Structure formats: structure tokens, C-alpha cells
């Protein structure tokens, strides 16, 4: 027993090892593949980003250089345009001038301001103006001052003339000639904005201020201020704030419902918008100062290659052009966001161009370098673009895991089927070997007795007649037992091969019962058992195979005899129950555990107990009874419990008689 269970355990362990080891190897292999795949996906994503970065860098460069070329051409053709902010390309934020490594903003390098400055600082003119101012302020003689300023106004240069007239108007006003002053101011109001003082403020604005203080010609003043805004020139911060406050006053002075006030308010809105733009522009010189070394260094590395740097916010790109004769280099500031979105709009490029991009100076977590033309600049891809290759990866990972789980599940299922088959085969082999040993044992016992008694008779032919008779009876009884056993084995083999044929014919059940019990009379007597037979009267004939029924009854009765234990009584009843003829074989013997009730009808099955082990048996008897019952559309049932005996009931349908 112990050896067989340890053998089983060994088999199971071997089996588990045979299944689990490949499964484990598969899992490890699968995980390895998954890990490598992930690394590969990461690398692929990085390579893809690098490729895209370079591609975008190339496109950016081409676009930037084109903008630079166009703006340079325009600036060369019309230099005064540099003072305006209506550039050729909408992406251009500013075109500044780099002189001695310093970025000058448009109003700082405006030639008209420089010209005004030198004209106003011309010594002869300056002296006349100083004389006039002395008369006006030191001697408090506005009339004298007015004549001195009138002299100065005779100057041939336009700006000198205008400047002197401005002062003349002031002196006239002080000397009580307000109307004259106003008419001068109105003339000055009509001057173009390029006529400025040394700070770059148009003289017309001073005239406007004066007129506002006299509350004269508000509509005309408002008109002039609006046209100053519409010129789309770069306004210095000083001029911007002056224009802003003048416009506010103009809007108030012109009356709330007037057209002039409406226009003044619209221009005021534009000035406020311009102020915001100015904030960005004012920060650029400092940024340029900080980043300039990048331009220089990269310029050295890249040689004649164009170089672009990014401002500290990462929103604008700066690049210099070729030196302009006599002035310095032009510096182009291009709005990064506008540039990226205009690139994005380009046809044929949108497939590889991410929806949203960001430029970043310095090292970002996922920033990609844009190449040597953009030192220190990285392009940051949006999260969605990052996720894309990883999304494909996560799909692939799920696919791998699913496939692996499927393979493992199939392997385990296959293994289970195999295991079940192997176990069944093992059990069958065990049962067969048990069967062979029990049949041999069954055959050997009667054969030994037959041989022993036959030899005794041969040795003593003229012995005691009673003993002789007894020997002969035993020989007959044992050979009957032998033939029963062989019948069972032969029947079973026929059933297994599907060759067992029953030949039902109408038969009287009490008659068959009588014949069977007669055949058992001798063994019953030998065992000291009493068989109590009760047959119900008037039962019709039943269609059965006579030999089959005899054999089935014999099996049930020999079982009752075998498993009677200490009880010496066996019952046999024939009765009618509804449409059934029922034959009951009753004993008061060892009984059967209810858990075994179904199994005992299985082939070769014997209840495992020490008592049963001592009793001969093949485990075929009840399986033959059950086969017989089913072949006759009947059934066999058992009622039994350990120690209280068993009742086997064979049900045969009565309709069979017809
Ligand atoms: P066997 O040759 O072992 O008797 P059977 O198929 O006739 O084979 O019976 C199967 C098993 O059912 C027996 O091994 C026995 O344990 C049990 N069995 C059958 N009949 C009886 C009975 N009348 N009383 C107790 N146990 C029985």
C-alpha cells in the first residue's frame, strides 16, 4: 500500500515537473521578450523623436532663412520700413540692429531721430534758441523771446523751423497772443511724425498737448492722434505713454457720443495692445545679451551655417543677418509659436508634425535637440505624441501577455487531459491485474478440490460409500462453481466486445427461480444457510432471456451467500409492483456503505475492506446483473447499510410478456 502511494506521488511529481518546468520556462521567456520589446519600444520612440526633431529643425531652418531673406530684401529696398512693425511675414516680431554686440530697438536706431538730434544741436541754432529761452524765463520777456524764436524759425532745416515755432507759439501765448499761438500749434499739428525732437517724440504731439490744454480744436487734435497710431511705426516707450495719455484726454474732450471720441477710444485700445507687444520687445535686448555667446560659439562651430537662438522664455527665435554696410547686423526675432503653427499648416508635412510643440531653451525631460543650427534649443513634444509609440507598445504587450496566458492555459488543459487519461489507464491496468489474480485464485480453488477428491477416489476406489458420495458431490459442486465463473468471464468478454446477445422469450419467473435455487441447494446446505423463497401468485409471464436471468439470479444469490457474515438466512421474493415484476434477494449480512452503492455495479469493482479481501471474487457479478437489467429495459437497485444486510431488487417490465 505504502509503496504504491509513494509511487503515485512520484509519478504526480514527475508529471508536475514535466508540465510546470516548460510553463515556467515559457513565462520566463515571455517576460524576457516583453522586457526586450519594451526596451526596443523605448529606443524606437527615442529614435523617432530624434528623427522628428531633426526633421522639424530642417523645416524650421528653411522657413527662418526664407523669412530672413525676404525681410532683408525689403529692408535693403526701403530702409525706413525698419521703423515700422508691418513686416512682410506675420511671424516676424522684430527686426533690430546689432551694433557693437548690443541690440538696438527700432526707435533707437531710427535715422530720422539721429538727423533731428544733430539738426537741433547745431550750434548757431542752439544759441538762438538759448537766447530766446533766456528772454522767456530769465528776463520774463515773452515778446522779446517771441521775436528771437521767430528769427530762429527762419532756419532752412524743417525740424529747426518746427522746433522754433513750437517755442514761438509758447512765447506768443505768454505774451497774450493766444489766437496766434493756437494757429501756430494747429500748423504744427499737421507735421509728419518723422519731425521729432532729440528724444524721438514727434513735435506734432507737443502741439496736440498745447491745443488740448487750451481746449482748442478737440476733433482736429483727436484726428491727428489717431493717425499717429495708425502709422504702425515703432513707438518708443516714452512716446507710447505720451500718446496714450493724450488719447485719453482727447476721448474725454471730444464728448462721449462724437465720432472723434469713438475713434480716439479705438486708437486707445490699439495703444494698449501695442504696450503688451512692447513688453516682449523691451525684454529682448537683455535676452540677447545673455544668449549672445551661443550665437558666437555656434557661429564658430557652424562656420558659415546660419544659427538661431531662443529667448529665455523659449517662445521666440533670434538670428542675425549679414552685416549691413556702415550700420551693423540686423537681428531677426521670429515668434516661435507662429512659426510652428505655420509649419504645421504646410501641406505634406502635417502627417509627421505633431499637433502641439513647444520650444525650450536648456535641457528638458523629453526635449529633442534641433541640430547645430539651433544651439541650446530643444523641441518638446506634447504628451500625446510621446504616448503614441508607447500606446502601440502597450497594445503589443497586452497581446503578448494574452498569447502567453492562452498558451499556458492550453498547455495546462492538455496536461490535465493527459493526466486524466494516464490515471485512468493506470487504474484500469491495476484493476486488470487484480482481476487476473482473483480469477486465477477463483479457478485454482475449485480445481485443487476437484483434483484432490478425484485422486482420492482413484487411490481408494472401494472406500466408504458415504465418503465416496461426498467426494463426488464436492467434485460436482466445484465444477459447477467453475463453470459459473467461466460463464461470467465469457459473458463479460462478450459484453466488452459488443457481442453479447440476449434472446428474450416469454417465461415463467417462478419456474426460473425454482430452477436456480435448486442448483444452489447443495452449497447452501454446506454453508448452513436457509433460503426463504416467496413468490406472489398470478404473475404473468415475462419476456426474458432465460439463461441470462438464471445467471443474474445466481450472481445475486451467491453474493448474498458470500457476504452473509454471521447471518444464516437469505430471502428471495418475487412480487408485482405496478408494471414491474420485481425479484428481491435479501440478506442480513455485512451490508454496503451508501457511498459505494453506485460503484459496485461498475466492472471489476470490489468494495475495499479486509473482510472482502479474504473472500474470493472478480468484481464482475453485479456489472453483469446491471447489464442484463438494462438489456431488458429494467434496472437493478440496492438498499443496504453496513452491518444490516442488503436487498438487491431486479426490476423487469411486465409489458415484455405481450
Ligand atoms: P464480487 O465478485 O466481488 O462479488 P460483484 O460485482 O458481485 O463482485 O460485487 C461487487 C462488490 O459488491 C463486492 O465486492 C461486494 O463488496 C459488494 N457486494 C455485492 N453483493 C453484496 C451483498 N449481498 N452484501 C454485501 N456486499 C455485497
CA–CA dist 595, 618 (Å, integer): 20
Cα 210 to middle of ligand 1, angstroms:
133
Q: What is the pLDDT of residue 483?
A: 87
Element (H, E) at 647: strand 646-653
Q: What is the pLDDT of residue 656?
A: 44
Mean pLDDT of 213-242: 92
- Ligand 1 pocket, residue 600 CB under 6 Å: yes
DSSP per-residue letters across 515-555 = HHHHHTHHHHHHHT-EEEEEE-TTPPPEEE-HHHHHHHHHH
Question: Whole-number mean pLDDT of the chain?
Answer: 85
- The answer to whether 203 and 191 are in contact (CB under 8 A) is yes
Cα 435 to middle of ligand 1, angstroms:
14
- The answer to whether 48 and 389 are in contact (CB under 8 A) is yes
Mean pLDDT of 568-585: 96
Cα 612 to middle of ligand 1, angstroms:
8
Q: Give the residue, out of 561, 566, 589, 622, with the most ligand 1 atoms within 8 A of its beta carbon, to mutate for a pocket test.
A: 622
* b (16+ CB within 10 A) / e for 316-339: bbbbbbeebeeebbbbbbbbbebb
Cα 235 to middle of ligand 1, angstroms:
118
Cα 474 to middle of ligand 1, angstroms:
24
* b (16+ CB within 10 A) / e for 161-190: bbbbbbbbbbbbbbbebeeebbebbbebbe
Q: Label residue 294 by pLDDT band (50, 70, 90).
A: confident
- Ligand 1 pocket, residue 442 CB under 6 Å: no
CA–CA dist 630, 321 (Å, integer): 107
Count of residues making up the chain: 658
CA–CA dist 346, 459 (Å, integer): 125
Q: Give the residue, out of 559, 625, 636, with the most ligand 1 atoms within 8 A of its beta carbon, to mutate for a pocket test.
A: 559
Mean pLDDT of 502-509: 93
- Ligand 1 pocket, residue 556 CB under 6 Å: no
Residue owning the nearest CA to atom 18 of ligand 1: 559
Helix crossing, 383-459 with 2-77: angle to 10°?
Answer: 170
Query: Residue 572: helix, strand or coil by DSSP?
Result: strand
pTM attached to this predicted model: 0.53
CA–CA dist 24, 22 (Å, integer): 5
Residue with C-alpha cell 521729432? 196
- Ligand 1 pocket, residue 560 CB under 6 Å: yes
- Ligand 1 pocket, residue 626 CB under 6 Å: no
Q: What is the DSSP letter of 356?
A: -
Q: Which residues, 6+ apart, have CB-to-CB distance to 654 below 8 Å?
A: 540, 542, 576, 579, 580, 581
Among residues 242, 115, 75, 228, the alpha carbon closest in space to that of 83 is found at: 75
Cα 482 to middle of ligand 1, angstroms:
18
- For residue 383, give the C-alpha cell: 504628451
Cα 596 to middle of ligand 1, angstroms:
10
Atom of ligand 1 nearest to the CA of 607: 16
Helix-, strand-, coil-residue percentages of the chain, each rounded to 5: 65, 15, 25
Query: Residue 111: helix, strand or coil by DSSP?
Result: helix
Residue with C-alpha cell 464728448? 255
Q: Give the residue, out of 569, 592, 640, 642, with the most ligand 1 atoms within 8 A of its beta carbon, to mutate for a pocket test.
A: 592
Residue with C-alpha cell 562656420? 303
Mean pLDDT of 545-569: 94
Residue owning the nearest CA to atom 12 of ligand 1: 600
Residue with C-alpha cell 518638446? 380
Cα 617 to middle of ligand 1, angstroms:
8
**How many CB atoms within 10 Å of residue 495?**
17
CA–CA dist 425, 348 (Å, integer): 70
Choose the most confident range, by mean pLDDT, from 101-115, 177-191, 464-478.
177-191
Which has the minimum average pLDDT: 48-57, 149-158, 373-382, 408-417? 373-382
Q: How far is CA 376 from the centre of its chain?
A: 35
Q: What is the pLDDT of residue 173?
A: 95
Residue with C-alpha cell 496736440? 208
What percent of the chain lies above the pLDDT cut of 70? 91
Q: Label residue 4 by pLDDT band (50, 70, 90).
A: low
Q: Which residues, 6+ apart, have CB-to-CB distance to 89 below 8 Å?
A: 67, 70, 71, 334
Query: Residue 3: helix, strand or coil by DSSP?
Result: helix
- Ligand 1 pocket, residue 607 CB under 6 Å: yes
- The answer to whether 654 and 542 are in contact (CB under 8 A) is yes
- Per residue in 585-616, pLDDT (tens digit) is 999 999 999 999 999 999 888 898 888 888 88
C-alpha dihedral (593, 596, 597, 599), degrees to nearest 10? -170
Element (H, E) at 360: strand 358-361
Q: Label residue 386 by pLDDT band (50, 70, 90).
A: very low
Cα 630 to middle of ligand 1, angstroms:
19
- Ligand 1 pocket, residue 646 CB under 6 Å: yes
**How many CB atoms within 10 Å of residue 379?**
26
- Ligand 1 pocket, residue 570 CB under 6 Å: no
Atom of ligand 1 nearest to the CA of 622: 6
- For residue 487, give the C-alpha cell: 460463464
Mean pLDDT of 488-514: 90
CA–CA dist 650, 635 (Å, integer): 6
Whether residue 44 has pLDDT greater than 70: yes
Q: How far is CA 231 from the centre of its chain?
A: 57
Cα 13 to middle of ligand 1, angstroms:
35
Mean pLDDT of 53-76: 86
Atom of ligand 1 nearest to the CA of 609: 16
Atom of ligand 1 nearest to the CA of 612: 16
CA–CA dist 658, 653 (Å, integer): 11
- Ligand 1 pocket, residue 590 CB under 6 Å: yes
Angle at 134 between CA 126 and CA 238, to 5 degrees: 60
Mean pLDDT of 204-222: 93
Helix crossing, 158-174 with 178-189: angle to 10°?
Answer: 150
Among residues 598, 573, 602, 600, the alpha carbon closest in space to that of 585 is found at: 573
- Ligand 1 pocket, residue 559 CB under 6 Å: yes
Cα 619 to middle of ligand 1, angstroms:
7
Q: Label residue 7 by pLDDT band (50, 70, 90).
A: low
Cα 600 to middle of ligand 1, angstroms:
7
Residue owning the nearest CA to atom 19 of ligand 1: 559
| CA atoms 241, 242, 245, 247: torsion sign | negative
CA–CA dist 222, 228 (Å, integer): 10
Cα 557 to middle of ligand 1, angstroms:
11
Whether residue 20 has pLDDT greater than 50: yes
Among residues 429, 432, 411, 410, the alpha carbon closest in space to that of 421 is found at: 429
Cα 558 to middle of ligand 1, angstroms:
9
- Ligand 1 pocket, residue 619 CB under 6 Å: yes
Mean pLDDT of 256-278: 89
Higher pLDDT, 577 or 362: 577
- Ligand 1 pocket, residue 592 CB under 6 Å: yes
Q: What is the DSSP letter of 135?
A: I
Query: From the CA atom positions of the chain, what is the Rg in Å?
Result: 61
Strands 530-535, 569-577: parallel, antiparallel or unpaired by DSSP? parallel
Whether residue 33 has pLDDT greater than 70: yes
Whether residue 368 has pLDDT greater than 60: yes
Amino acid at each position: 500500500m505504502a509503496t504504491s502511494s509513494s509511487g503515485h506521488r512520484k509519478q504526480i511529481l514527475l508529471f508536475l515537473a514535466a508540465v510546470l518546468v516548460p510553463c515556467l520556462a515559457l513565462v520566463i521567456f515571455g517576460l524576457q521578450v516583453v522586457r526586450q520589446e519594451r526596451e526596443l519600444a523605448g529606443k524606437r520612440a527615442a529614435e523617432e523623436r530624434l528623427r522628428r526633431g531633426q526633421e522639424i529643425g530642417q523645416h524650421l531652418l528653411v522657413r527662418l532663412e526664407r523669412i530672413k531673406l525676404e525681410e532683408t530684401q525689403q529692408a535693403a529696398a526701403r530702409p525706413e520700413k525698419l521703423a515700422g512693425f508691418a513686416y512682410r511675414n506675420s511671424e516676424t516680431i522684430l527686426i533690430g540692429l546689432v551694433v557693437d554686440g548690443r541690440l538696438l530697438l527700432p526707435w533707437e536706431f531710427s535715422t530720422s531721430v539721429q538727423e533731428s538730434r544733430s539738426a537741433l544741436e547745431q550750434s548757431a541754432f542752439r544759441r538762438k534758441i538759448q537766447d530766446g529761452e533766456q528772454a522767456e524765463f530769465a528776463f520774463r520777456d515773452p515778446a522779446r523771446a517771441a521775436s528771437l524764436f521767430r528769427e530762429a524759425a527762419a532756419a532752412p532745416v524743417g525740424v529747426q523751423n518746427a522746433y522754433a515755432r513750437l517755442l514761438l507759439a509758447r512765447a506768443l501765448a505768454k505774451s497774450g497772443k493766444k489766437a496766434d499761438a493756437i494757429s501756430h500749434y494747429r500748423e504744427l499739428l499737421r507735421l509728419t511724425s518723422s519731425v521729432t525732437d532729440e528724444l524721438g517724440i514727434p513735435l506734432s504731439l507737443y502741439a496736440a498737448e498745447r491745443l488740448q490744454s487750451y481746449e482748442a480744436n478737440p476733433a482736429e487734435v483727436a484726428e491727428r492722434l489717431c493717425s499717429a497710431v495708425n502709422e504702425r511705426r515703432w513707438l518708443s516707450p516714452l512716446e507710447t505713454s505720451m500718446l496714450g495719455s493724450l488719447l485719453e484726454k482727447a476721448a474725454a474732450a471730444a464728448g462721449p457720443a462724437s465720432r472723434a471720441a469713438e475713434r480716439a477710444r479705438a486708437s486707445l485700445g490699439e495703444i494698449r495692445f501695442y504696450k503688451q507687444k512692447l513688453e516682449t520687445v523691451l525684454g529682448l535686448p537683455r535676452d540677447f545679451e545673455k544668449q549672445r555667446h551661443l550665437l558666437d560659439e555656434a557661429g564658430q562651430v557652424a562656420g558659415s551655417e546660419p544659427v538661431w537662438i531662443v529667448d529665455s522664455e523659449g517662445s521666440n527665435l533670434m538670428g542675425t543677418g549679414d552685416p549691413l554696410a556702415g550700420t551693423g547686423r540686423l537681428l531677426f526675432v521670429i515668434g516661435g509659436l507662429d512659426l510652428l503653427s505655420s509649419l504645421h499648416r504646410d501641406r505634406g508635412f502635417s502627417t509627421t508634425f505633431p499637433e502641439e510643440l513647444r520650444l525650450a531653451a536648456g535641457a528638458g525631460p523629453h526635449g529633442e535637440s534641433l541640430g547645430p543650427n539651433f544651439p541650446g534649443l530643444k523641441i518638446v513634444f506634447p504628451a500625446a505624441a510621446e504616448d503614441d509609440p508607447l500606446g502601440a507598445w502597450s497594445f503589443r504587450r497586452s497581446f503578448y501577455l494574452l498569447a502567453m496566458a492562452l498558451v499556458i492555459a492550453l498547455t495546462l488543459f492538455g496536461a490535465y487531459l493527459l493526466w486524466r487519461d494516464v490515471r485512468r489507464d493506470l487504474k484500469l491496468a491495476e484493476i486488470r491485474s487484480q482481476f487476473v489474480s482473483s480469477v486465477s485464485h477463483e479457478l485454482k480453488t475449485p480445481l485443487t478440490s476437484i483434483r484432490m477428491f478425484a485422486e482420492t477416489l482413484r487411490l481408494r476406489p472401494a472406500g466408504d460409500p458415504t465418503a465416496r458420495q461426498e467426494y463426488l458431490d464436492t467434485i460436482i459442486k466445484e465444477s459447477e462453481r467453475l463453470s459459473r465463473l467461466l460463464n461470467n468471464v465469457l459473458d463479460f468478454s462478450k459484453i466488452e466486445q459488443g457481442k453479447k446477445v440476449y434472446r428474450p422469450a416469454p417465461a415463467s419467473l417462478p419456474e426460473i427461480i425454482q430452477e436456480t435455487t435448486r442448483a444452489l441447494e447443495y452449497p447452501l446446505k454446506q454453508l448452513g444457510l436457509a433460503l426463504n423463497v416467496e413468490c406472489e401468485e398470478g404473475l404473468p409471464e415475462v419476456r426474458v432471456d432465460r439463461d441470462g436471468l438464471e445467471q443474474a439470479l445466481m450472481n445475486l444469490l451467491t453474493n448474498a451467500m458470500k457476504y452473509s457474515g454471521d447471518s444464516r438466512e437469505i430471502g428471495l421474493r418475487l412480487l408485482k409492483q405496478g408494471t414491474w415484476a420485481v425479484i428481491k434477494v435479501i440478506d442480513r449480512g455485512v451490508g454496503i456503505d451508501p457511498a459505494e452503492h453506485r460503484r459496485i455495479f461498475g466492472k471489476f469493482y470490489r468494495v475495499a475492506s479486509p473482510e472482502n479481501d479474504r473472500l474470493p471474487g472478480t468484481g464482475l457479478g453485479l456489472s453483469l446483473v446491471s447489464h442484463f437489467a438494462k438489456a431488458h429495459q429494467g434496472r437493478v437497485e440496492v438498499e443496504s447499510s453496513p452491518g444490516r444486510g442488503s436487498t438487491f431488487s431486479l426490476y423487469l417490465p411486465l409489458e415484455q410478456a405481450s
